[in-house]
Amino acid sequence: MPFRMAKCRQKKTPELIPHLATVLHVFNYVMAELLAGVPSTAPPTQINKSTLDNASAFVQHLESQKGILRQSRLPMLIKIIHILSEFSLMLFP
């Protein structure tokens, strides 16, 4: 990968954390309500610190695993993260 592309991707890493935290927040809230058997309502507007910390840890883990993912030809995980990010952007612009 050319240096320019690698540098560009590193700048986007901090941007992924709040988007992924939003997706995790909504997913966890909706799933908890579904599993409890109650009708789903809008999630709270504030994201817990633990959810933000988990999103940050997950993004850091993915960054550390990029080389392994490229070598093993598993771009699916990267696509899933991209889809989740795009989904959060659509829900919460």
pLDDT in tens, 62-78: 888 776 656 665 667 77
Residues 81-89 have a mean pLDDT of: 74
Find the range with the poorest average confidence among 15-19, 20-24, 63-67.
Answer: 63-67
* 41 Cβ neighbours under 8 A, 6+ residues apart: 33
Dist. CA 69–CA 88, nearest whole Å: 24
Banded model confidence at residue 5, pLDDT cuts 50, 70, 90: very low
